[in-house]
Amino acid sequence: MPNLTHIERIRQEMPATRSCVYLNTGTFGPLPTCAFQIMQQQMQDELQTGRLGMAFFDQMHATSQQARQAVARLLHAHEDEIALTGSTGDGLNIISYGFHWQQGDEVITTNHEHFNLLAPLYQLRERYGIVIRVADLGANAERPLLDAVAEQMTSRTRLVALSHVTWTNGVCLPIGELRSLCEDRGILVLVDGAQSAGAIPVDVHALGIDFYALPGQKWLCGPDGTGALYVRQDSSHLVTSTYVGYQSVEDPHGETWKLLENARRFEMGGRHSAAIAAQAAALNWLEETVGHRWMFERIAELHGYAFRTLQSVPGLHVLTPQPASSGLLAFTLEGKNADEVVTHLREQYNLYLRTIPERNSLRLSCGFYNTEKELDTLLKALIAYQSIS
Protein backbone atom coordinates (compact mmCIF):
# COMPACT_ATOMS: atom_id res chain seq x y z
CA MET A 1 0.00 0.00 0.00
CA PRO A 2 1.41 3.44 -0.87
CA ASN A 3 2.28 5.87 1.89
CA LEU A 4 -0.87 7.83 2.58
CA THR A 5 -1.37 11.05 4.47
CA HIS A 6 -3.55 11.07 7.57
CA ILE A 7 -6.46 12.67 5.70
CA GLU A 8 -6.14 10.15 2.87
CA ARG A 9 -6.29 7.24 5.32
CA ILE A 10 -9.33 8.76 6.98
CA ARG A 11 -11.13 9.21 3.68
CA GLN A 12 -10.40 5.61 2.75
CA GLU A 13 -12.26 4.60 5.89
CA MET A 14 -15.25 6.81 4.99
CA PRO A 15 -16.46 5.73 1.52
CA ALA A 16 -19.20 8.37 1.37
CA THR A 17 -16.54 11.09 1.32
CA ARG A 18 -15.27 9.70 -1.98
CA SER A 19 -18.70 9.41 -3.62
CA CYS A 20 -19.51 13.14 -3.54
CA VAL A 21 -18.38 16.46 -2.14
CA TYR A 22 -19.76 15.88 1.36
CA LEU A 23 -20.27 19.26 3.05
CA ASN A 24 -23.25 18.43 5.27
CA THR A 25 -21.94 16.81 8.44
CA GLY A 26 -24.12 19.20 10.44
CA THR A 27 -27.07 17.09 9.27
CA PHE A 28 -25.53 13.62 8.95
CA GLY A 29 -21.90 12.65 9.21
CA PRO A 30 -20.45 9.94 6.95
CA LEU A 31 -20.13 6.54 8.60
CA PRO A 32 -16.66 5.08 9.02
CA THR A 33 -16.24 1.54 7.75
CA CYS A 34 -15.60 0.19 11.25
CA ALA A 35 -19.06 1.34 12.40
CA PHE A 36 -20.76 -0.30 9.45
CA GLN A 37 -18.82 -3.52 9.84
CA ILE A 38 -19.56 -3.97 13.52
CA MET A 39 -23.23 -3.17 12.96
CA GLN A 40 -23.36 -5.70 10.14
CA GLN A 41 -21.56 -8.31 12.25
CA GLN A 42 -23.86 -7.72 15.19
CA MET A 43 -26.94 -8.21 13.04
CA GLN A 44 -25.42 -11.28 11.42
CA ASP A 45 -24.73 -12.81 14.83
CA GLU A 46 -28.27 -12.08 15.99
CA LEU A 47 -29.67 -13.59 12.81
CA GLN A 48 -27.63 -16.78 13.11
CA THR A 49 -27.58 -17.40 16.86
CA GLY A 50 -30.51 -15.38 18.15
CA ARG A 51 -30.70 -12.94 21.03
CA LEU A 52 -30.76 -15.41 23.86
CA GLY A 53 -28.95 -16.21 27.08
CA MET A 54 -26.93 -14.17 29.56
CA ALA A 55 -23.97 -13.95 27.19
CA PHE A 56 -26.03 -11.77 24.84
CA PHE A 57 -27.17 -9.48 27.65
CA ASP A 58 -23.66 -9.25 29.05
CA GLN A 59 -22.41 -8.22 25.63
CA MET A 60 -25.10 -5.55 25.33
CA HIS A 61 -24.17 -4.22 28.77
CA ALA A 62 -20.47 -4.10 27.89
CA THR A 63 -21.10 -2.37 24.56
CA SER A 64 -23.30 0.29 26.19
CA GLN A 65 -20.61 0.86 28.81
CA GLN A 66 -18.00 1.34 26.08
CA ALA A 67 -20.20 3.94 24.38
CA ARG A 68 -20.79 5.84 27.65
CA GLN A 69 -17.09 5.80 28.46
CA ALA A 70 -16.19 7.13 25.01
CA VAL A 71 -18.73 9.96 25.32
CA ALA A 72 -17.42 10.76 28.79
CA ARG A 73 -13.86 11.05 27.49
CA LEU A 74 -15.02 13.28 24.63
CA LEU A 75 -16.83 15.64 27.02
CA HIS A 76 -14.28 15.36 29.87
CA ALA A 77 -17.03 14.04 32.10
CA HIS A 78 -17.43 11.05 34.42
CA GLU A 79 -18.96 7.87 33.01
CA ASP A 80 -21.67 8.01 35.69
CA GLU A 81 -22.75 11.38 34.27
CA ILE A 82 -23.58 9.94 30.83
CA ALA A 83 -26.86 8.40 29.70
CA LEU A 84 -27.31 6.89 26.25
CA THR A 85 -30.23 8.28 24.27
CA GLY A 86 -31.67 7.99 20.79
CA SER A 87 -30.97 11.58 19.72
CA THR A 88 -30.32 15.13 20.86
CA GLY A 89 -34.07 15.62 21.06
CA ASP A 90 -34.35 12.70 23.47
CA GLY A 91 -31.94 14.35 25.87
CA LEU A 92 -33.58 17.75 25.58
CA ASN A 93 -36.99 16.25 26.31
CA ILE A 94 -35.69 14.20 29.26
CA ILE A 95 -34.45 17.32 30.98
CA SER A 96 -37.23 19.69 29.92
CA TYR A 97 -39.88 17.34 31.31
CA GLY A 98 -37.86 16.58 34.44
CA PHE A 99 -38.91 19.64 36.42
CA HIS A 100 -42.04 20.14 38.51
CA TRP A 101 -43.22 23.10 36.52
CA GLN A 102 -45.64 25.63 37.95
CA GLN A 103 -47.69 28.09 35.94
CA GLY A 104 -45.65 31.23 35.38
CA ASP A 105 -42.25 29.54 35.69
CA GLU A 106 -39.89 30.91 33.06
CA VAL A 107 -37.37 29.46 30.62
CA ILE A 108 -34.89 31.60 28.71
CA THR A 109 -33.78 30.54 25.26
CA THR A 110 -32.40 32.45 22.26
CA ASN A 111 -33.51 33.44 18.78
CA HIS A 112 -31.04 30.98 17.20
CA GLU A 113 -32.39 27.68 18.49
CA HIS A 114 -33.33 24.55 16.58
CA PHE A 115 -36.91 23.31 16.72
CA ASN A 116 -35.81 20.20 18.65
CA LEU A 117 -34.94 22.42 21.59
CA LEU A 118 -37.98 24.65 21.23
CA ALA A 119 -40.59 21.91 20.73
CA PRO A 120 -40.58 20.58 24.33
CA LEU A 121 -40.69 24.16 25.61
CA TYR A 122 -43.74 24.90 23.47
CA GLN A 123 -45.39 21.75 24.77
CA LEU A 124 -44.60 22.68 28.37
CA ARG A 125 -46.12 26.08 27.76
CA GLU A 126 -49.32 24.44 26.52
CA ARG A 127 -49.42 21.90 29.33
CA TYR A 128 -48.24 23.83 32.37
CA GLY A 129 -48.38 27.49 31.41
CA ILE A 130 -44.65 28.19 31.57
CA VAL A 131 -43.33 31.40 30.04
CA ILE A 132 -40.68 31.30 27.31
CA ARG A 133 -38.47 34.36 27.21
CA VAL A 134 -36.20 34.86 24.18
CA ALA A 135 -32.75 36.41 24.48
CA ASP A 136 -32.11 38.30 21.25
CA LEU A 137 -28.57 37.60 20.09
CA GLY A 138 -28.96 39.64 16.92
CA ALA A 139 -29.48 38.46 13.37
CA ASN A 140 -26.13 36.66 13.25
CA ALA A 141 -25.68 35.80 16.95
CA GLU A 142 -23.15 38.60 17.21
CA ARG A 143 -24.54 40.16 20.40
CA PRO A 144 -22.92 39.29 23.78
CA LEU A 145 -24.67 36.25 25.21
CA LEU A 146 -24.37 37.28 28.86
CA ASP A 147 -26.06 40.63 28.26
CA ALA A 148 -28.88 39.12 26.21
CA VAL A 149 -29.65 36.41 28.79
CA ALA A 150 -29.33 38.71 31.82
CA GLU A 151 -31.90 41.06 30.31
CA GLN A 152 -34.48 38.26 30.31
CA MET A 153 -33.90 36.97 33.82
CA THR A 154 -36.54 37.42 36.52
CA SER A 155 -37.29 35.87 39.88
CA ARG A 156 -39.35 33.19 38.03
CA THR A 157 -36.52 31.99 35.76
CA ARG A 158 -35.76 28.30 36.34
CA LEU A 159 -33.89 27.19 33.25
CA VAL A 160 -31.73 28.57 30.44
CA ALA A 161 -31.89 26.33 27.35
CA LEU A 162 -29.64 27.12 24.41
CA SER A 163 -27.17 25.76 21.86
CA HIS A 164 -23.42 25.59 22.27
CA VAL A 165 -22.97 26.16 18.53
CA THR A 166 -25.87 27.80 16.68
CA TRP A 167 -27.32 25.63 13.93
CA THR A 168 -28.21 28.75 11.93
CA ASN A 169 -24.67 30.00 11.31
CA GLY A 170 -22.13 28.14 13.43
CA VAL A 171 -21.42 30.71 16.13
CA CYS A 172 -19.89 29.16 19.25
CA LEU A 173 -21.73 30.72 22.17
CA PRO A 174 -19.63 31.35 25.32
CA ILE A 175 -21.92 29.28 27.51
CA GLY A 176 -19.30 29.06 30.24
CA GLU A 177 -20.02 32.73 30.97
CA LEU A 178 -23.45 31.74 32.24
CA ARG A 179 -22.08 29.75 35.16
CA SER A 180 -21.83 32.46 37.81
CA LEU A 181 -24.86 34.33 36.50
CA CYS A 182 -27.09 31.25 36.81
CA GLU A 183 -25.58 29.49 39.84
CA ASP A 184 -26.03 32.57 42.01
CA ARG A 185 -29.75 32.53 41.19
CA GLY A 186 -30.34 28.77 41.31
CA ILE A 187 -31.00 28.63 37.56
CA LEU A 188 -30.00 25.49 35.65
CA VAL A 189 -28.47 25.41 32.16
CA LEU A 190 -29.45 22.91 29.45
CA VAL A 191 -27.26 22.87 26.33
CA ASP A 192 -28.07 21.58 22.86
CA GLY A 193 -24.79 20.08 21.69
CA ALA A 194 -26.00 18.95 18.27
CA GLN A 195 -23.52 21.15 16.38
CA SER A 196 -20.69 21.15 18.91
CA ALA A 197 -20.03 17.58 20.09
CA GLY A 198 -17.34 16.30 17.76
CA ALA A 199 -16.83 19.67 16.07
CA ILE A 200 -15.15 21.69 18.83
CA PRO A 201 -13.45 20.75 22.11
CA VAL A 202 -16.00 20.42 24.93
CA ASP A 203 -15.21 20.22 28.64
CA VAL A 204 -18.54 20.15 30.44
CA HIS A 205 -16.96 20.44 33.89
CA ALA A 206 -14.98 23.51 32.92
CA LEU A 207 -18.09 25.05 31.36
CA GLY A 208 -20.05 24.49 34.55
CA ILE A 209 -23.31 23.69 32.79
CA ASP A 210 -25.84 21.20 34.16
CA PHE A 211 -27.05 19.24 31.15
CA TYR A 212 -25.64 18.61 27.68
CA ALA A 213 -27.57 16.70 24.99
CA LEU A 214 -25.84 15.44 21.87
CA PRO A 215 -26.44 13.28 18.78
CA GLY A 216 -24.43 10.36 17.49
CA GLN A 217 -25.13 10.78 13.80
CA LYS A 218 -23.71 14.25 13.07
CA TRP A 219 -20.12 15.24 13.85
CA LEU A 220 -19.55 11.97 15.71
CA CYS A 221 -20.29 10.00 12.53
CA GLY A 222 -22.37 7.30 14.20
CA PRO A 223 -25.61 5.66 13.07
CA ASP A 224 -29.12 7.08 13.35
CA GLY A 225 -30.91 6.52 16.63
CA THR A 226 -27.88 7.18 18.84
CA GLY A 227 -27.02 10.01 21.16
CA ALA A 228 -26.12 10.83 24.74
CA LEU A 229 -27.00 13.09 27.63
CA TYR A 230 -24.60 14.54 30.18
CA VAL A 231 -26.12 15.16 33.60
CA ARG A 232 -23.90 16.94 36.10
CA GLN A 233 -23.59 14.91 39.30
CA ASP A 234 -24.59 17.83 41.51
CA SER A 235 -27.68 18.53 39.39
CA SER A 236 -29.05 15.03 38.80
CA HIS A 237 -31.27 15.11 41.90
CA LEU A 238 -33.01 18.22 40.56
CA VAL A 239 -34.49 16.34 37.60
CA THR A 240 -37.18 13.65 37.81
CA SER A 241 -37.28 10.81 35.29
CA THR A 242 -40.41 11.03 33.16
CA TYR A 243 -39.95 7.61 31.57
CA VAL A 244 -38.34 4.73 33.43
CA GLY A 245 -37.62 1.11 32.66
CA TYR A 246 -35.36 -1.85 33.20
CA GLN A 247 -32.18 0.20 32.78
CA SER A 248 -33.29 2.98 35.12
CA VAL A 249 -33.37 1.16 38.44
CA GLU A 250 -30.89 -0.48 40.76
CA ASP A 251 -32.64 -3.85 40.91
CA PRO A 252 -35.57 -4.45 38.54
CA HIS A 253 -36.27 -7.75 40.29
CA GLY A 254 -36.10 -6.46 43.83
CA GLU A 255 -38.96 -5.54 46.11
CA THR A 256 -37.76 -1.97 46.60
CA TRP A 257 -38.28 0.67 43.91
CA LYS A 258 -35.07 2.68 43.64
CA LEU A 259 -33.73 4.61 40.67
CA LEU A 260 -30.03 4.51 39.95
CA GLU A 261 -28.02 7.31 41.51
CA ASN A 262 -26.23 8.12 38.26
CA ALA A 263 -27.28 9.39 34.83
CA ARG A 264 -28.34 5.91 33.74
CA ARG A 265 -31.61 6.55 35.62
CA PHE A 266 -32.62 8.39 32.44
CA GLU A 267 -32.05 5.38 30.19
CA MET A 268 -35.09 3.40 29.14
CA GLY A 269 -33.40 0.31 27.72
CA GLY A 270 -34.46 -1.42 24.54
CA ARG A 271 -31.96 0.41 22.35
CA HIS A 272 -30.88 -1.13 19.06
CA SER A 273 -27.85 -3.18 20.09
CA ALA A 274 -26.21 -2.98 16.65
CA ALA A 275 -26.56 0.80 16.59
CA ILE A 276 -24.97 1.15 20.03
CA ALA A 277 -22.12 -1.11 18.94
CA ALA A 278 -21.58 1.09 15.89
CA GLN A 279 -21.80 4.23 18.03
CA ALA A 280 -19.07 2.89 20.31
CA ALA A 281 -16.95 1.88 17.31
CA ALA A 282 -17.26 5.31 15.67
CA LEU A 283 -16.44 7.11 18.92
CA ASN A 284 -13.36 4.97 19.51
CA TRP A 285 -12.24 5.41 15.90
CA LEU A 286 -12.49 9.19 16.23
CA GLU A 287 -10.48 9.10 19.43
CA GLU A 288 -7.83 6.53 18.59
CA THR A 289 -7.40 6.71 14.80
CA VAL A 290 -8.46 10.23 13.82
CA GLY A 291 -7.47 11.82 17.11
CA HIS A 292 -9.64 14.33 18.94
CA ARG A 293 -7.07 17.12 18.94
CA TRP A 294 -6.27 16.67 15.25
CA MET A 295 -9.98 16.49 14.42
CA PHE A 296 -10.82 19.77 16.12
CA GLU A 297 -7.79 21.56 14.70
CA ARG A 298 -8.58 20.29 11.19
CA ILE A 299 -12.19 21.46 11.37
CA ALA A 300 -11.08 24.90 12.55
CA GLU A 301 -8.46 25.09 9.80
CA LEU A 302 -10.98 24.22 7.07
CA HIS A 303 -13.50 26.64 8.53
CA GLY A 304 -10.98 29.47 8.17
CA TYR A 305 -10.09 28.37 4.65
CA ALA A 306 -13.76 28.32 3.63
CA PHE A 307 -14.33 31.77 5.09
CA ARG A 308 -11.41 33.26 3.21
CA THR A 309 -12.21 31.43 -0.03
CA LEU A 310 -15.87 32.36 -0.25
CA GLN A 311 -15.11 36.07 0.03
CA SER A 312 -14.25 36.10 -3.68
CA VAL A 313 -17.72 34.97 -4.85
CA PRO A 314 -19.68 37.93 -6.29
CA GLY A 315 -22.82 38.70 -4.30
CA LEU A 316 -22.00 36.25 -1.51
CA HIS A 317 -22.48 37.43 2.06
CA VAL A 318 -21.06 35.35 4.90
CA LEU A 319 -23.42 35.30 7.90
CA THR A 320 -21.04 33.66 10.35
CA PRO A 321 -19.15 36.32 12.35
CA GLN A 322 -15.41 35.84 12.67
CA PRO A 323 -13.46 34.52 14.37
CA ALA A 324 -15.32 31.21 14.33
CA SER A 325 -14.05 27.67 14.08
CA SER A 326 -17.05 25.40 14.53
CA GLY A 327 -17.00 24.01 10.99
CA LEU A 328 -20.43 25.49 10.20
CA LEU A 329 -20.44 28.44 7.83
CA ALA A 330 -23.62 30.15 6.63
CA PHE A 331 -23.96 32.51 3.71
CA THR A 332 -26.44 34.01 1.26
CA LEU A 333 -26.21 34.68 -2.46
CA GLU A 334 -27.73 38.03 -3.28
CA GLY A 335 -31.01 37.68 -5.15
CA LYS A 336 -30.85 33.87 -5.22
CA ASN A 337 -33.18 31.24 -3.82
CA ALA A 338 -31.21 28.99 -1.46
CA ASP A 339 -33.16 25.85 -2.34
CA GLU A 340 -32.44 26.34 -6.03
CA VAL A 341 -28.74 26.81 -5.32
CA VAL A 342 -28.57 23.59 -3.29
CA THR A 343 -30.36 21.67 -6.04
CA HIS A 344 -28.02 23.05 -8.70
CA LEU A 345 -24.90 22.15 -6.72
CA ARG A 346 -26.15 18.63 -6.15
CA GLU A 347 -27.24 17.97 -9.73
CA GLN A 348 -24.35 19.65 -11.52
CA TYR A 349 -21.42 19.07 -9.16
CA ASN A 350 -22.46 16.18 -6.89
CA LEU A 351 -21.88 18.61 -4.04
CA TYR A 352 -23.99 18.47 -0.89
CA LEU A 353 -24.72 21.24 1.57
CA ARG A 354 -28.04 22.47 2.96
CA THR A 355 -30.29 25.47 3.41
CA ILE A 356 -31.54 27.23 6.51
CA PRO A 357 -35.11 27.84 5.22
CA GLU A 358 -36.02 30.52 7.76
CA ARG A 359 -33.20 32.72 6.49
CA ASN A 360 -32.96 31.72 2.80
CA SER A 361 -29.33 30.98 3.52
CA LEU A 362 -26.94 28.15 2.74
CA ARG A 363 -24.90 26.29 5.31
CA LEU A 364 -21.80 24.23 4.68
CA SER A 365 -20.17 21.91 7.18
CA CYS A 366 -16.41 21.56 7.10
CA GLY A 367 -15.81 18.06 8.41
CA PHE A 368 -12.39 16.84 9.50
CA TYR A 369 -12.39 14.56 6.44
CA ASN A 370 -12.92 17.37 3.91
CA THR A 371 -10.14 18.89 1.80
CA GLU A 372 -9.22 22.32 0.56
CA LYS A 373 -9.71 20.99 -2.98
CA GLU A 374 -13.35 20.28 -2.20
CA LEU A 375 -13.84 23.81 -0.93
CA ASP A 376 -12.20 25.10 -4.11
CA THR A 377 -14.75 23.06 -6.07
CA LEU A 378 -17.54 24.77 -4.13
CA LEU A 379 -15.99 28.15 -4.88
CA LYS A 380 -15.83 27.47 -8.64
CA ALA A 381 -19.38 26.11 -8.64
CA LEU A 382 -20.78 29.19 -6.89
CA ILE A 383 -18.93 31.58 -9.20
CA ALA A 384 -20.20 29.66 -12.22
CA TYR A 385 -23.75 29.72 -10.85
CA GLN A 386 -23.59 33.47 -10.37
CA SER A 387 -22.45 33.97 -13.94
CA ILE A 388 -25.26 31.95 -15.56
CA SER A 389 -28.25 32.73 -13.38
Residue 75 belongs to domain with CATH number: 3.40.640.10
**Whether 166 and 59 share a structural domain:** yes
1 part of a folded domain: no
**Whether 183 and 81 share a structural domain:** yes
**Whether 156 and 26 share a structural domain:** no
pLDDT at residue 178 is higher than 80: yes
State which residues form the domain around 218: 41-288
pLDDT in tens, 91-127: 999 999 999 999 999 999 999 999 999 999 999 999 9
Phi, psi of 238 (to 5 degrees): -90, -5
Who contacts 23 (Cβ-Cβ below 8 Å, separation ≥6)? 351, 352, 353, 364, 365, 366, 367, 370, 374, 378
55 part of a folded domain: yes
36 part of a folded domain: no
Give the rounded distance of the alpha carbon of 200 from its chain centre: 11
**Whether 262 and 326 share a structural domain:** no
35 part of a folded domain: no
- This prediction has a pTM of 0.96
Overall domain count for the chain: 2
Between 120 and 269, residue with greater pLDDT: 120
**Whether 78 and 183 share a structural domain:** yes
The answer to whether 363 and 26 have CB atoms below 8 angstroms apart is yes
**Whether 238 and 367 share a structural domain:** no
**Whether 68 and 194 share a structural domain:** yes
Give the pLDDT band of residue 389 (cuts 50, 70, 90). low
**Whether 252 and 302 share a structural domain:** no
